[in-house]
């Protein structure tokens, strides 16, 4: 039998590494041989054309090689700038290079060293004409290494203290020379044919040391043939893992086969003051089918803010209740839990079902009673925050778990609630419209339904941007809306890392509006630190129209539903994240009236801040907003990686590689479908890669 390729061998044992270097590589997250081979350059330089110094031209970016003649360090008298001046020469002439405030460079260059410089050539006009480079890229060349570092497209690697890109290049070359021919193939042959991929060994070799003919921009854009192959591999493996999971969940986990009878939902439909939209009906059908099926439901409902997810959930909850099961509804904030409680209670009580609310700040006695009620089965729907997942909470017969605004929860929290039931069905709702590429990765093992239209009669929220000085105009607009019988929100910014300051700002703003701006109107205040009863009564008053203007912190970000509120001002809008702004804006525009969002920004505003504000003005489409958000923040930051379980991708980039992701997903799901559990011999290579790469990490993607 072939000897196995040493993918998992510690780099320490690779020839040319050893413990000291292994330690340095570890800082770059390179631990195994595999990590090393997949440590792809983050950019490339074209050094295939080395110019003679005499031939360089002003204005052009040139690469030259020469010997160090002199290095000096001077200080400009007035601006106190430290300048390192380097002179190198080749047989044709002398070239100067300059670096500013990088004194340490003086010691780096030694007379007689062979140096490569690459940068833009400038013509210096003061103190005598000469050509020079300003802050060029530099590299010291050893006498016999030229072919590796010059005369070619050169890979540039991330560095760490004590380990340079150049050292990495040398090591990589040695390692590849010795091992590359033995790298086994992983992809099924038909895919290599289908996409005309290079063999894996060639792709790995080329990604590090591309042929001269390779286009530099393709390399730097991650679009070279080698890159595409490796990106595909990474996404294909991920999707294979997800496909397996999904099958595993469907096949291995028997769930409750609910009796889904239309008559169960009828009484509630009669109570509703509206008809469901087509989009809501379609999603409800998906859920009904899942619930009727013998396997546990794992469904994600995506729907933009205000699309009407709650009622769809309630109709599903009713099915569970009519089948004799309890439902847990978990909301990310107490205020949202309270709101759900207040609004669902009405419906359920008229249907003679019981609802309880469980939150963390309940009084001890009250809490114990509620927990007792849950355990004995004396309530049908239990609404709460993450307090629902405490150990003490035991359900009599939990059949359905609904998680609202899922993006606010971690995967683990979701999982622990599910474990409290006997394979309950799981319905997850999110208003963050996740771009498709991210959804495929993040929720690849879930089924997704989208409520893609809002209830009729809503017009887009008019969004405008004001700068601090124009504040009065914003206030006048609020006044106008209140005069017409509408209600308003003013959102105070989050003061980073300090809930206390946060509160103080909210209190001050409350006082300011009450006394100075709108002394004739009823002003309310809502923030996270209030007692539950206070929150409840403020929410109830606002809902009943007894409060005209609600000054609130970002606690109103998710879920709050007050259709008569038509205008929202967001103070210091530049401080908020894009999806947060979108969520906040979603608190208005929930009825038939034209609604407004006024963002008040204060200078200084960062470039990204500007981009966020502009995006808000430009569109109310949640999908566009989230694409833009993903583009601004990058996938890792999108939800906060730790929370979301987004696996770390090394080569692929979810935005750039959306097309490859979709292709890889289709192929992966098909393969898993046709090669049961990847247990056939044909799947052995994939399986080996999968086990190595995603072992332990796939857990994060699991739901149950
Ligand atoms: P979200 O999807 O943001 O959670 P909600 O479920 O809170 O949205 O619904 C937003 C508002 O729209 C609520 O006031 C709700 O009563 C109302 N609504 C939901 N469905 C419809 C519908 N089909 N027609 C009219 N109004 C609806
Ligand atoms: Mg909601």
DSSP 656-675: TTHHHHHHHHHHHHHHHHHS
Could you tell me if the CB of 284 is within 6 A of ligand 1? no
DSSP output for 598-652: EEEE-S---HHHHHHHHHHHH---HHHHHHHHHHHH-HHHHTTHHHHTPPPPSS-
Could you tell me if the CB of 404 is within 6 A of ligand 1? no
* CATH number attached to the domain at 462-619: 3.40.50.300
Domain range list for the chain: 49-151, 185-256+627-704, 262-292+308-430, 462-619
Residues 326/395, Cβ–Cβ less than 8 Å: yes
Could you tell me if the CB of 367 is within 6 A of ligand 1? no
Distance 309 CA to ligand 2 centre (A): 6
Could you tell me if the CB of 280 is within 6 A of ligand 1? yes
Distance 412 CA to ligand 1 centre (A): 29
363 vs 259: CA distance, rounded Å:
38
Could you tell me if the CB of 591 is within 6 A of ligand 1? no
Does domain 49-151 correspond to CATH entry 2.40.50.140?
Answer: yes
Could you tell me if the CB of 303 is within 6 A of ligand 1? yes
**Can you tell me which atom of ligand 1 is nearest the CA of 457?**
25
Could you tell me if the CB of 310 is within 6 A of ligand 1? yes
Three-state SS sequence of 394-444: CCCCEEEEEECCHHHCCHHHHHHHHCCCCCCEEEEEECCCCCHHHHHHHCC
Q: How many residues does the chain have?
A: 704
Give the chain's residues under pLDDT 50.
1, 411-412, 640-644, 698-704
Antiparallel, parallel or unpaired: β 61-75 and 82-90? antiparallel
User: Alpha helix locations (H) across 62-163?
Assistant: 105-108, 146-149
Could you tell me if the CB of 433 is within 6 A of ligand 1? no
Establish whether domains 49-151 and 262-292+308-430 are of one fold.
Answer: no
**Can you tell me which atom of ligand 1 is nearest the CA of 563?**
14
Closest CA to 297 of 277, 279, 319: 319
Q: In this structure, which ligand is nearest to the CA of 307?
A: 1
Distance 309 CA to ligand 1 centre (A): 7
pLDDT for the residue 48: 79
CA-nearest residue, atom 20 of ligand 1: 308
66 vs 390: CA distance, rounded Å:
69
Q: Which CATH number is correct for 262-292+308-430, 3.30.420.10, 3.40.50.261, 3.40.50.300, 3.40.47.10?
A: 3.40.50.300
Could you tell me if the CB of 589 is within 6 A of ligand 1? no
| Predicted TM-score (pTM) of this structure | 0.67
Residue to substitute in 304, 311, 315 for testing ligand 1 pocket (most ligand atoms within 8 angstroms of CB): 311
Could you tell me if the CB of 118 is within 6 A of ligand 1? no
Q: What is the CA radius of gyration of the chain?
A: 31
Query: Angle CA(257)–CA(261)–CA(265) in degrees, nearest 5?
Result: 120
34 vs 22: CA distance, rounded Å:
13
pLDDT for the residue 439: 73
Q: In this structure, which ligand is nearest to the CA of 344?
A: 1
DSSP secondary structure letter of residue 2: P
Q: In this structure, which ligand is nearest to the CA of 589?
A: 1
Residue to substitute in 268, 277, 278, 308 for testing ligand 1 pocket (most ligand atoms within 8 angstroms of CB): 308
CA-nearest residue, atom 12 of ligand 1: 308
Could you tell me if the CB of 545 is within 6 A of ligand 1? no
The sign of the torsion formed by the CA atoms of 371, 377, 378, 380 equals positive
pLDDT for the residue 421: 66
Could you tell me if the CB of 241 is within 6 A of ligand 1? no
Residues 179/171, Cβ–Cβ less than 8 Å: no
Distance 305 CA to ligand 2 centre (A): 7
pLDDT for the residue 188: 92
Could you tell me if the CB of 583 is within 6 A of ligand 1? no
């Amino acid at each position: 039998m072939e000897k196995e390729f040493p993918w998992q061998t510690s780099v320490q044992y690779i020839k040319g590494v050893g413990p000291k270097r292994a330690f340095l590589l570890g800082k770059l997250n390179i631990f195994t041989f595999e990590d090393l081979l997949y440590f792809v350059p983050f950019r490339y330089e074209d050094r295939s054309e080395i110019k003679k110094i005499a031939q360089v031209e002003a204005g052009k970016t040139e690469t030259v090689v020469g010997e160090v003649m002199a290095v000096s360090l001077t200080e400009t008298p007035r601006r106190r700038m430290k300048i390192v001046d380097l002179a190198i020469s080749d047989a044709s002439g002398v070239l100067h290079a300059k670096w500013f405030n990088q004194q340490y460079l003086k010691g780096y260059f030694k007379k007689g060293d062979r140096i490569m410089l690459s940068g833009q050539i400038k013509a210096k006009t003061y103190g005598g004409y000469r050509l020079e480079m300003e802050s060029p890229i530099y590299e010291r060349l050893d006498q016999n290494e030229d072919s590796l570092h010059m005369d070619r497209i050169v890979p540039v690697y991330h560095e760490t203290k004590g380990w340079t890109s150049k050292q990495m290049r040398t090591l990589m070359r040695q390692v590849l020379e010795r091992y590359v021919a033995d790298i086994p193939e992983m992809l099924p042959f038909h895919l290599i044919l289908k996409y005309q991929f290079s063999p894996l060994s060639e792709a790995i070799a080329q990604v590090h040391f591309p042929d001269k003919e390779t286009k530099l921009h393709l390399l730097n854009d991650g679009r070279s043939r080698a890159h595409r192959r490796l990106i595909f591999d990474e996404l294909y493996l991920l999707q294979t893992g997800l496909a397996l999971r999904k099958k595993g969940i469907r096949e291995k986990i028997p769930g409750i086969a609910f009796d889904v009878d239309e008559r169960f939902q009828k009484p509630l439909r009669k109570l509703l003051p509206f008809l469901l939209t087509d989009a809501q009906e379609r999603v409800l059908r998906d859920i009904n089918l899942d619930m009727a099926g013998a396997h546990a439901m794992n469904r994600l409902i995506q729907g933009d803010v205000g699309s009407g997810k709650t009622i769809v959930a309630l109709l599903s909850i009713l099915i569970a209740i009519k089948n004799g099961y309890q439902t847990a509804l978990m909301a990310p904030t107490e205020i949202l839990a309270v709101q759900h409680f207040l609004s669902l209670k009405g419906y359920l009580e008229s249907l003679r079902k019981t609802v309880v609310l469980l939150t963390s700040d309940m009084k001890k006695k009250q809490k114990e009673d509620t927990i007792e009620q849950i355990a004995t089965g004396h309530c049908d729907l239990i609404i709460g925050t993450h307090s629902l997942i405490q150990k003490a909470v035991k359900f009599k017969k939990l059949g359905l778990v609904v998680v609202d605004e899922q993006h606010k929860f971690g995967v683990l929290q979701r999982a622990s609630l599910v474990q409290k039931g006997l394979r309950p069905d799981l319905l997850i709702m999110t208003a963050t419209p996740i771009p498709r590429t991210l959804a495929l990765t993040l929720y690849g093992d879930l089924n997704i339904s989208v409520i893609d239209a809002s209830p009729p009669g809503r017009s887009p929220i008019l969004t405008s941007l004001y700068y601090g000085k124009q504040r009065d105009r914003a206030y006048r607009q609020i006044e106008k809306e209140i005069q017409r019988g509408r209600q308003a929100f003013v959102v105070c910014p989050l003061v980073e890392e300090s809930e206390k300051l946060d509160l103080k700002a909210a209190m001050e703003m409350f006082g300011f509006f009450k006394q100075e701006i709108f002394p004739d109107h009823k002003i309310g205040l809502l923030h996270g630190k209030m007692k539950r009863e206070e929150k409840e009564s403020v929410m109830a008053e606002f809902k009943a129209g007894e409060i005209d203007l609600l000054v609130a912190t970002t606690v109103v970000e998710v879920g709050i539903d007050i259709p008569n509120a038509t205008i929202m001002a967001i103070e210091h809008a530049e401080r908020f994240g894009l999806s947060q702004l979108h969520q906040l804006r979603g608190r208005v525009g929930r009825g038939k009236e034209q609604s407004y969002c006024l963002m008040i920004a204060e200078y200084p505003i960062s470039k990204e801040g500007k981009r966020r504000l502009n995006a808000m003005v430009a569109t109310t489409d949640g999908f566009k907003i989230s694409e833009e958000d993903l583009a601004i923040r990058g996938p890792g930051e999108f939800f906060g990686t730790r929370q979301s379980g987004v696996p770390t991708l090394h080569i692929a980039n979810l935005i750039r590689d959306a097309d490859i992701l979709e292709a890889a997903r289709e192929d992966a799901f098909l393969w898993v479908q046709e090669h049961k559990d990847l247990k056939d011999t044909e799947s052995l290579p994939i399986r080996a890669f999968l086990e190595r790469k995603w072992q332990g990490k796939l857990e994060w993607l699991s739901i149950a």
